[in-house]
Structure 1
Amino acid sequence: MNAHDLRRLTVRAGSAHDADALAHFDSVARSDSGERRGSIERWCREGSVLVADAAPELVGYCVVEYTFFEQGFVTMLMVAEPLRGRGIGERLLRAAAASCLTTKLFASTNLSNHQMQRLLQRVGWRSVGMVHGLDDDDPEVFYLCAPRSR
């Protein structure tokens, strides 16, 4: 995908038909024993997925669920590895914020994931806390979407 293709990129609601394509570029789905693949299928079935569509291929996805204290939560943001850093994640996060059904939208990432932290900060999210113990020696940092970016 080149810069011209990025202008044609659309973000749309995902469907059950998208699960194979999402699992294909998801680095975790390619390497685990099927757990992520099962989650992708469930998210697609439940209508929780937004996909970045650079026809004829999907290049990213974002999952928003409402099980975090009954607020929106970005459960997953994944962009195909060779296409990271081109604005796809930003487009997905902005679409998630625009479509969120609750007054607050949260996300989290490991403290070691500097790329995701920079992305969240660049699009106006603010750090609101940290939880230790989810992953050994790598705390989870939580972010809240700024109201003005929603």
Structure 2
Amino acid sequence: MNTVDLDEFVVRRASESDADALVGIDMVAVEGDDGRQVNIRRWCRQGLALVAEDASGLLGYCVVEYTFFEQGFVTMLMVAPSARGRGVGHRLLDAAATSCMTPKLFTSTNVSNQPMQRLLQRAGWSPVGLLHGLDEGDPELFYLRRWQTTATDPVT
């Protein structure tokens, strides 16, 4: 009998055909946030999303955009609740950094989001600033991951 290592998964660039499955694993989109669903479809159509998948299907996704002072910015990192704790988020962040087209890659998270802060620290990101006023009473922490050279997009 063949066994499957539950930690085996691949990261690849999302296609338009992945959009419905990504909506299905994104808890905000599942709860009916039309804006999130529209964004997921746009990110897939524009080739901005990376997905992690295994034999069971999509496990999570990550989006890198270049509208933050013309630097890379991880706009979204989402891992399906059933896939958390398997290294999916870490691998997606590594793939985002590797495929980033600028020498600096930023992201942010709320002060209240302790799991994301721990993940970013484990993945080699450095805190670089704090912004008040986006979410009342929950400041936004910004993080940076530096790369010496720009990528050639090894993610397929």
TM over 0.5: yes
Q: Superposition pairs for residues 1-150 of structure 1, below 5 Å? A: 4-7=5-8, 9-147=9-147
Change in 2 beyond 3 A, CA 1:119/1:33: closer
Q: Distance in 2 between matches of 1:51 and 1:128?
A: 27
Q: Which residue identity is paired with 1:137? A: G
Contact 1:15-1:45 within 8 A present in 2 as well: yes
The TM-score with structure 1 as length reference comes to 0.93
Q: Distance in 1 between matches of 2:111 and 2:104?
A: 22
Q: Which residue identity is paired with 1:27? A: M
Length, aligned pairs only: 147
Q: Structure 1: which 4+ aligned runs deviate by more than 6 Å?
A: none
Change in 2 beyond 3 A, CA 1:44/1:88: same
The structure richer in helix per residue is: 1
What are structure 1's unaligned runs of at least 5 residues?
Answer: none
Contact 2:103-2:146 within 8 A present in 1 as well: no
Q: Distance in 2 between matches of 1:32 and 1:137?
A: 25
What corresponds to 2:154 in structure 1? none
How far the C-alpha of 1:86 sits from its partner, in A, is: 1.3
How far the C-alpha of 1:56 sits from its partner, in A, is: 3.8
Percent of aligned pairs with the same residue?
59
Q: Distance in 1 between matches of 2:116 and 2:13?
A: 22
Q: Which residue identity is paired with 2:7? A: L
Q: Which residue identity is paired with 1:142? A: F
The TM-score with structure 2 as length reference comes to 0.90
